Amino acid sequence: MTNEAADFRLSISPTIGQVPAFLLRPPDAWLLYVMAHGGGGGMRHPFLERMAASLGARGIATFRYQFPYMEAGRSRPDAPSILEETVRAAVIKAGEIVPELPIVAGGKSLGGRMTSSAASTAPLDRARGLVFLGFPLHPPGQPGTRRADHLQAVNVPMLFLQGTRDGFARLDLITDVTSRLKSLGTLHLVDGADHSFGILKRAGRTPDQVMDELAETIVGWARTLNRNAVLG
């Protein structure tokens, strides 16, 4: 049996309009990850393509979607209110398409942060947890934790996948942020990885091995949620 792959149109609002979305579902799917793209690359970015394939091989379906600014060909992201509205619409749409699967939401960099920002305002429909692929805690060279203030208002478990060389999240700061979330925050560090999870050649690891580590960590975390009856 092969993966189900289907394109969709995601309606955000009458004023914002529609954006494309894409579902990749393996035949043995047990979880759906609504996965937003980062600030500089759309839903077809090679990293997200590889991430979706790696998760699919482990029974996790993915629902990717485009933010309006990216679909319009603009380099500057939309206002946070528009990004958050898009996140919320995507989670609702994903739940309508595959109502039988439990959902986690999040994404790469900006997409993950906008997902948590939306969830801090009001719970995301059916989302049982959040997964961040490189949470952008601060701009490079400008360490701080202000971008994480809203996380205290999120009431579902959160998994932070961070490289130890991530210029957007100084190691001591992201460690402190996640520790303050107590049982809701889980931090997994990818040794030697940067913000895009790139590894130096001298590390002796391949990109595929890093991708496997990310996917296996997500699976293990989600299975733990399942044992704790969070995923139902």
Digit-by-digit pLDDT tens for the chain (232 residues) are: 578 999 999 999 999 999 999 999 999 999 999 999 999 999 999 999 999 999 999 999 999 999 999 999 999 999 999 999 999 999 999 999 999 999 999 999 999 999 999 999 999 999 999 999 999 999 999 999 999 999 999 999 999 999 999 999 999 999 999 999 999 999 999 999 999 999 988 878 899 999 999 999 999 999 988 666 444 4
Can you tell me which residue has the tokens 């700061």? 173
DSSP 8-state code for residue 109 = T
* Global model pTM greater than 0.85: yes
Q: Is 79 left (phi over 0), alpha (psi -120 to 50) or beta?
A: beta
Predicted confidence at residue 65, as pLDDT, reads 98
Longest dimension (CA), the chain: 51
Q: 4-227 maps to which CATH number?
A: 3.40.50.1820
Amino acid letter, 68: P
Strand stretches in the chain, DSSP E: 4-13, 17-25, 31-36, 60-65, 103-108, 127-133, 158-163, 185-190
Structure tokens at 216: 């296996």
Residue spans per domain, the chain:
4-227
